[in-house]
Homo-oligomer: A and B are copies of this chain.
C-alpha cells in the first residue's frame, strides 16, 4: 500500500503538502492541490488511521461496556449509542464483560492504552474505587446515578420507578408482592428495588425475592418457586418483559388467570410484553444510550435524568 511519501514523490511535492490537501488545509495552491489529488485518486490512496490517530492522540472511537448483548435492555442502550455515533462519525466497540470484574477492568484499560477516547458503562461489577482511576485516561460515562464529580451519567430514577410500580400494585389491592432481579445485592439495582419494597410494603419475606433472572426460562423458574410456596404472592414485578413472560407462561400452565389470580408487571417494553399484553415499566433505554453518548463525546460530567413511564396493559 502506498503511503503519504509515495504520494508526495509522485506528485512532486513534500509530504506536508499532501497532508495539507488530505486535511483540507486552505494554504495549498490550487495547482498542487489538483496534482496531489490526481495521484491520490490514481493510487486509490487512503491515509492509515492508526498513524493519524497515534499522532493526533484521538481515535474517534468509544467503547460500550455491557455485561451481555442479545439482551433487550443492553441492546436498547447500544441502539441509542449507535444512533448518535453514526451521526457524529464515531466508531463504537462493544465490550462484553459477563459481569466479570477482571474483564471489565481490561476493557477500561483500553482507555489507558489509547485505543478509545471514552467508555460508556451500561452496568458494572467493579466498585467506583476501581473505576475512577481510569477517568485520568479518558471520559467515562455511566448509566446509573452517581454524584461522583469525574463521571457523567445518563440515568433513570430507578428507585422512583420501583416505588411507583409497587404503589400501583398496592393501589390495586396487592399486599403480597414478589419481584425478580438479575443479580443479588452486589447490584445497585437490586439494592434499590429492595429499598423501594421496604418503603411501600415494609418487611420483605426472603421468598419474595428471586435472583438470577435474565430469560423467559428464568421467569418460569421464578414463578415455580413463588407459586408453589405457601405464601403465594398475588403480584410479581419482573426485571424485564421476557422474565415476566416466563412468569405468565408458568401461571397460565397452572390454570391461573392474569391478572385476577396473579398480576404481572415487567420492564423495558419489549415485544414479548406487547404480544402478551403485559404491563411494563419502560425505562426508555434508547434515550439513555443517546444521552450517554452525547455526554461522552462532549466530555461532560453532567448528570442527566431520563424519564421513565409505566405502560398499563392487561396484566395488572
Residues in chain A within 8 A of chain B (CB atoms):
1, 46-51, 53-54, 59, 61, 69-70, 75-76, 78-79, 82, 86, 91-96, 98, 103, 109-110, 112-115, 137, 215-216, 242, 245, 248-249, 270-272, 274-276, 286
Complex Cα spacing A53 to B110, Å: 13
Which listed residue, B49, B110, B114, B272, touches A113 by the CB 8 Å rule? B49
| Bound CA span A241–B104, Å | 33
Q: Of B48, B69, B275, which is within 8 A of A276 by CB?
A: B275
Q: How many subunits of this chain does the assembly comprise?
A: 2
A73 → chain B, closest Cβ, in Å?
11
What residue in chain B is nearest A113 (Cβ atoms)?
B49
A310→B252 CA distance, assembly (Å): 25
A274 to B272, CA, bound (A): 9
Q: A248 — which chain B residues lie within 8 A by C-beta? A: 275
Determine whether the beta carbon of B48 is less than 8 Å from that of A50.
no
Are A271 and B46 within 8 A (Cβ)? no
Looking at the complex, which one of B51, B91, B245 makes contact with A93 (CB distance below 8 Å)?
B91
If the complex has contacts A78-B69, A82-B96, are A51 and B48 also in contact, measured as CB distance less than 8 A?
no
Q: Does A93 lie within 8 Å of B93, measured CB to CB?
A: yes
Are A82 and B69 neighbours in the complex by a CB distance under 8 Å?
Answer: yes
Which residues of B lie under 8 Å from residue A51 when comparing CB positions? 54
Residue from B47, B49, B110, B270 within 8 A of A271 (CB atoms): B270
Inter-chain contact A79/B86, CB cutoff 8 Å: no
In the complex, how many angstroms separate the beta carbon of A135 from the nearest chain B beta carbon?
A: 14
User: Can you identify 23 A-B contacts, CB atoms within 8 angstroms?
Assistant: A46-B109, A49-B110, A49-B113, A50-B114, A50-B115, A69-B78, A70-B75, A91-B93, A91-B95, A91-B110, A92-B93, A215-B271, A216-B274, A216-B275, A242-B271, A245-B275, A249-B275, A270-B271, A270-B272, A271-B271, A272-B272, A275-B275, A275-B276
In whole angstroms, how far apart are the Cα atoms of A51 and B86 in the complex? 26
Q: Which B residue sits closest to A285, measured CB to CB? A: B70
The docked-state distance in angstroms from the alpha carbon of A49 to that of B76 is 30
| Nearest-Cβ distance from residue A278 to partner chain B, whole angstroms | 9
Bound CA span A62–B47, Å:
19
| Contact yes or no, B49 A114, CB < 8 A | yes
> Known contacts A51-B54, A61-B93; can you find 10 more A-B pairs with CB under 8 A?
A47-B113, A50-B53, A50-B59, A50-B114, A82-B94, A86-B96, A91-B95, A249-B275, A270-B272, A271-B272
Q: Contact at B49–A115, with CB atoms within 8 Å?
A: yes
Which residues of B are found within 8 Å of A75, using beta-carbon distances? 69-70, 75
Residues of the B chain whose Cβ atoms lie less than 8 Å from the Cβ of A50: 50, 53-54, 59, 114-115
Q: Which 3 pairs between the two chains have the least Cβ-Cβ distance?
A: A70-B79, A272-B272, A50-B54
